[in-house]
Copies of this chain bind each other. A is one copy, B any other.
Amino acid sequence: MRVSQKAITRLSQYRDILHRFKEYGSQWIYSCDLAAAMGSTAAQVRKDFSIFAIPGKKKVGYEIDTLIKHINTHLQKDSQHTAILAGLSLSGVSLIKEQLLAAQGISIAAAFDAGTAKAAAKSSLAGVPVMPLDKMIEFVTTHSIKLGIIAATDGSAQRILDLMAMAGIRGVLNLAPTDLKSPRNCVVNSVNLVREFEKMVYFAAQPDGGPQGA
């Protein structure tokens, strides 16, 4: 069964909401309550959970702990993820220093940069080793790393992606403001802040507010 990107995003939204209900002392939750917290419908909630074969009970709804466990298994949150980051733009450096990903079980094993001066000057960044880009393939293959983050802002993103794919990386989060051609056997998820800003401007200017189906 193939699922949509939106269904995956909703799953992680459900999980955050479930954690909040749990903090308030709830053990069970009805699909309608979860739907209300999501701004969605009970039918949508049940449909989402049925795709993932997550079971609910007629009278009491879903057990919150079981639901969180199922969602985490589906999103592979049970295992620690290790990624490399390439392209030491300011935002790349912030991402490492802020440890937003580390707090969610995603560790960055090393950072790579094409600017030899930058890579040479910083031998580590918040405990993460920094190396020149031409050491990437060796590092990735030695450590069997399958995930990467591109944070370059200097136009080198496609070259970095091709190198990552060559090294055996299977999934890339691309934060560079550039559309990239995905190599075979590598999934690329691009987040383009300029585009997200433009989208927001467009919908903010509509007389009836938000987008269709949002």
Q: Give the B-binding residues of A (Cβ under 8 A).
A: 2-5, 8-9, 12-13, 16-17, 74-77, 81, 83, 89-91, 93-95, 97-98, 100-101, 104, 106, 146-147, 149, 153, 170-173, 175, 177, 179, 182, 185-189, 191, 193-206, 208-214
Contact = CB atoms under 8 A, between A and B. Distances in A.
A147 B208 contact: no
A200 B189 contact: yes
A106 B197 CA distance: 9
A16 B214 CA distance: 25
A39 to B, nearest CB: 9
A211 B4 contact: yes
A199 B190 CA distance: 11
A80 B1 CA distance: 45
A191 B196 contact: yes
Given A91-B94, A212-B3, A171 B203 contact: yes
B3 A205 contact: no
B196 A2 contact: no
B171 A200 contact: yes
A2 B208 contact: yes
8 contacts: A5-B211, A8-B202, A8-B203, A75-B201, A76-B201, A90-B94, A90-B97, A173-B196
Nearest to A146: B204
Contacts of A97: 90
A57 to B, nearest CB: 27
A144 to B, nearest CB: 14
A100 to B, nearest CB: 6
